Amino acid sequence: MSLPRRIAVVGAGLAAVSTCDALRAQGYDGELTLYSAERGLPYDRPPLSKDVLLGKAGRQDVLLRPERWYEERRVELRDGTPVLEIRAHEGGLGLSDGSVVRADRIVLATGGTPRPLPIPGGDDPAVHLLRTWEDAERLRERLLPGARVTVVGAGLIGAETAAVARALGCEVTLVDPVPVPLAAVVGDTVAGALHRRHAAEGIEVITAGVERVERRSAEVVAHLVGHDEALVADTIVAGIGIRPATELAERAGLHVGNGIVVGLGQRTSHPSIHAVGDVARLDGHPVRHEHWEAAQRDGEAAALGILDRPVPDRGAPWFWSDRHGSRLEAVGSMADAERIVSRGAFMAFGLRGERVVAAAAIDRVRDIKAARRIIDRGVAVDAVRLADESVDLRGVLR
Amino acid sequence: MSTSITGTGIRVAAEGDIEDGEALKVPAETTGHDDAIAVFHDGGTYYALDDTCSHGQASLSDGWIEGGEVECPLHSARFCLKSGEPQCMPATAAVRAHRVEVHDGAIWLHPGAPGSGEEATG
């Protein structure tokens, strides 16, 4: 395909902004426009469930890029401008004011929407979801000292939100049907250590599903599966995952299945359309990597794909999650492991034969960086040495 | 750690005090600079950069040091140890590099002087 002169990016999260950054870094000098449904400069999402809820960070503190970046990089930001339609055949976008703008390449960075609780009463306004700046602002007003907060879902967002609510002095109950959440992702040892922290910090932890939400004037009640007693609270927060925002792609006739299906260079089934971030799923992979670094790397890969340049292998995926003053990090894919080797109580490796395919740890920043390199370089390892905390992982690399 | 100031250089450590792959964070009070400065040892060569990542609030002295680069502990941005230039996202701005010298069995930092890696003599 000929090189583009007019690129439209739909969405304004990290994947979208990273795409623009990478396009300019690669020397693309044509038009570049970001269409953001929300108002204001694009912001980073990880702080929403941490410093923003805590009141430590304002909007200016969490901007993905400062205002001058848009001028310097000649990225036109059209905020408050939802895209209603992708016109794949003629190369254009339909906007809410009825206008159509032309683009010879379109990047879909539409992200996801938090899944509402799929139960009766799950759509009550007292049930908060957390994805956007507005969501965080609304929730922050509810997290007052002494407020009773029920958090449904103890994965990443739920656990982080519960920890912040507790730090703010709320009476927090954390409910999840899985006894040790994240065990499949980080292994039993690390997941257990993480989950136990909640109770140690004064959060009531209940292993149960929620079957119904009932509003009683100012209170909101969560009825649990198999429990007679119900949880009475002032606020419920649901953190049970996201649904990829694929509507535009579906209506444009793109190949969609648990996300917009993409190949190398983030190419969708349409030659002039790419997809990045939470909404995209790499063909042949069962899961979407809904994480910060994955979004950033998608943007880099999309830029290379758009400019018809080779896309390098990106190595093992990585994510982090902060709760109770500790940092969980994980690299690689624990699902690919044949066995799990623990290195003390706070780190675990997933092994496949002599190779490390995954690692997870709490507050082991350097060890995780070493583990990532062990995975990416395909280093053959001795499980006994990995398990020995006195062995410097840097030495395993050499 | 003992520091002493001679000329414009600050003695920050004896040779051998900073192990290969490690870094020393020299506080702003010592350097008189507006940020702490991280002095890195990478494969026999010493480098110094502003300690605070240009992207987030993280200390580069806690980063991963290898192959002439440091990787930020927080979001994995990498910087060239020699120039301070960012090597990948999420960083888009450089951190300042400072001159390091190795002589008289010690590592000397020159805050504000243009950076260049200095090989150990021993």
A79 with A12: CB under 8 angstroms? yes
DSSP code per residue over A319-330 = EEEEETTEEEEE
| Pairing mode, strands A31-35 and A6-10 | parallel
CB contact, 8 Å: A369 with chain B?
Answer: yes
DSSP at A287: S
Is A319 part of any domain? no
CB contact, 8 Å: A293 with chain B?
Answer: yes
Nearest to A18 among B62, B73, B89 (CB): B89
Average pLDDT score over residue span A168-186? 97
Cβ contacts of A235 within 8 Å, gap of 6 or more: A126, A128, A139, A142, A143, A147, A148, A149, A150, A220
Is A272 part of any domain? yes
**pLDDT value at residue B31:** 87
Using an 8 Å CB-CB cutoff, list chain A residues near B89.
Answer: 18, 21-22, 296, 299-300
Over 60: is that where the pLDDT of A176 sits? yes
Q: Tell if the CB–CB gap between A394 and B90 is shorter than 8 Å.
A: no
Residue with tokens 């001795």: A382
A292 with A11: CB under 8 angstroms? no
Amino acid type, A99? S
Average pLDDT score over residue span A259-275? 97
Q: What is the pLDDT of residues A126-170, one digit of tens each?
A: 999 999 999 999 999 999 999 999 999 999 999 999 999 999 999
Using an 8 Å CB-CB cutoff, list chain A residues near B62.
Answer: 365-366
Q: Are residues A208 and A278 in the same domain?
A: no
Cβ contacts of A89 within 8 Å, gap of 6 or more: none
Average pLDDT score over residue span A264-286? 96
Look at residue A61 and give its three-state secondary structure. helix
Q: Any idea what the CATH number is for the domain that residue A200 is in?
A: 3.50.50.60
Residue A374 φ then ψ, to 5°: -60, -40
**What is the maximum alpha-carbon separation in chain A?**
65
Q: Give dist(CA A333, CA A207) in Å, integer.
A: 26
A109 with A13: CB under 8 angstroms? yes
Q: Are residues A168 and A63 in the same domain?
A: no
Using an 8 Å CB-CB cutoff, list chain A residues near B64.
Answer: 366, 369-370
Q: What is the pLDDT of residues A75-124, one digit of tens each?
A: 999 999 999 999 988 899 999 889 999 999 999 999 999 999 999 999 99
Q: Are residues A108 and A246 in the same domain?
A: yes
Average pLDDT score over residue span A295-301? 97
Q: What is the pLDDT of residues A185-194, one digit of tens each?
A: 999 999 999 9
Question: Average pLDDT of chain A?
Answer: 96
Q: Tell if the CB–CB gap between A394 and B71 is shorter than 8 Å.
A: no
Q: In 3D, which of A312, A279, A302 has the Cα closest to residue A23?
A: A302
Q: Which letter, b or e, does each residue of A87-110 get, where b requires 16 or more Cβ atoms within 10 Å of its Cβ?
A: ebeebbbebeeeeebebbbbbbbb
Is A312 part of any domain? no
Q: What is the pLDDT of residues A364-373, one digit of tens each?
A: 999 999 999 9
User: Best of A56, A72, A374, A394 to disrupt the B interface by mutation (most B CBs within 10 Å)?
Assistant: A394
Q: Determine which helix (DSSP H) or strand (DSSP E) holds A232, and give its type and residue range.
A: strand A231-233
Is A231 part of any domain? yes
Q: In 3D, which of A282, A370, A269 has the Cα closest to residue A329?
A: A370
CB contact, 8 Å: B93 with chain A?
Answer: no
pTM higher than the cut 0.80:
yes
For helices A156-167 and A188-200, the axis angle rounded to 10 degrees is 30
A238 with A161: CB under 8 angstroms? no
**pLDDT value at residue A1:** 65
Q: Are residues A296 and A340 in the same domain?
A: no
Over 80: is that where the pLDDT of B117 sits? no
Q: Are residues A256 and A360 in the same domain?
A: no
Q: Are residues A74 and A128 in the same domain?
A: no
Is A278 part of any domain? yes
**pLDDT value at residue B6:** 54
CB contact, 8 Å: A300 with chain B?
Answer: yes
| Pairing mode, strands A235-238 and A148-152 | parallel
Q: For a pLDDT cut of 70, what percent of chain A falls above it? A: 100
Rounded to 5 degrees, what angle do the CA atoms A348, A349, A352 make?
Answer: 150
A66 with B55: CB under 8 angstroms? no
Q: Give dist(CA A49, CA A46) in Å, integer.
A: 6
DSSP at A43: B
Q: Tell if the CB–CB gap between B64 and A296 is shorter than 8 Å.
A: no
Q: What is the pLDDT of residues A215-236, one digit of tens each?
A: 999 999 999 999 998 999 999 9
Nearest to B64 among A292, A293, A369 (CB): A369
**pLDDT value at residue A2:** 79
Q: What is the pLDDT of residues B52-91, one digit of tens each?
A: 999 988 999 999 999 999 999 999 999 999 999 999 889 8
Nearest CA in chain A to B57: A61
Over 70: is that where the pLDDT of B7 sits? no
DSSP at B91: -
**pLDDT value at residue B120:** 60
Is A373 part of any domain? yes
Average pLDDT score over residue span A270-284? 97
Q: Are residues A107 and A249 in the same domain?
A: yes
Q: Could you give the number of structural domains in chain A?
A: 3
| Domain-ending residue, one of A238, A268, A298 | A238
Q: Are residues A268 and A166 in the same domain?
A: no
DSSP code per residue over A103-136 = -SEEEE---EEEPPP-STTTT-TTEE--SSHHHH
Domain B4-119: state its class. mainly beta
A233 with A219: CB under 8 angstroms? yes
Q: Any idea what the CATH number is for the domain that residue A365 is in?
A: 3.30.390.30
**pLDDT value at residue B1:** 47
Look at residue A168 and give its three-state secondary structure. coil
CB contact, 8 Å: B76 with chain A?
Answer: yes
CA–CA distance from A112 to each of A81, A104, A258, A289 (Å)? 17, 25, 11, 12
Q: Tell if the CB–CB gap between B21 and A394 is shorter than 8 Å.
A: yes
Q: Are residues A109 and A120 in the same domain?
A: no
Q: Which letter, b or e, does each residue of B58-89 get, where b requires 16 or more Cβ atoms within 10 Å of its Cβ?
A: bbbbbbbbbebbbbbbbbbbbbbbbbbebebb
Nearest to B73 among A300, A365, A370 (CB): A365
- A217 to chain B, closest Cα gap in Å: 43
DSSP at A178: S
pLDDT band for position B122 (cuts 50, 70, 90): very low
Q: Are residues A213 and A75 in the same domain?
A: no
| Domain-ending residue, one of A218, A238, A258 | A238
Is A317 part of any domain? no
Alpha helices in A156-291 (DSSP H): 156-167, 183-186, 188-200, 247-251
Over 60: is that where the pLDDT of B3 sits? no
**pLDDT value at residue A363:** 96
CB contact, 8 Å: B103 with chain A?
Answer: no
Q: Which letter, b or e, does each residue of A224-249 get, where b requires 16 or more Cβ atoms within 10 Å of its Cβ?
A: beeeeebbebbbbbbbbebebbbebb
Q: For a pLDDT cut of 90, what percent of chain A falls above it? A: 96
- B21 to chain A, closest Cα gap in Å: 9
- The whole domain housing A142 covers 116-238
Cβ contacts of B52 within 8 Å, gap of 6 or more: B35, B36, B58, B59, B60, B95
Is A206 part of any domain? yes
pLDDT band for position A6 (cuts 50, 70, 90): very high
Q: What is the pLDDT of residues B8-47, one digit of tens each?
A: 689 999 999 999 999 999 999 998 888 999 999 999 999 9
Q: Are residues A162 and A248 in the same domain?
A: no
CA–CA distance from B116 to each of A384, B39, B45 (Å)? 41, 12, 10
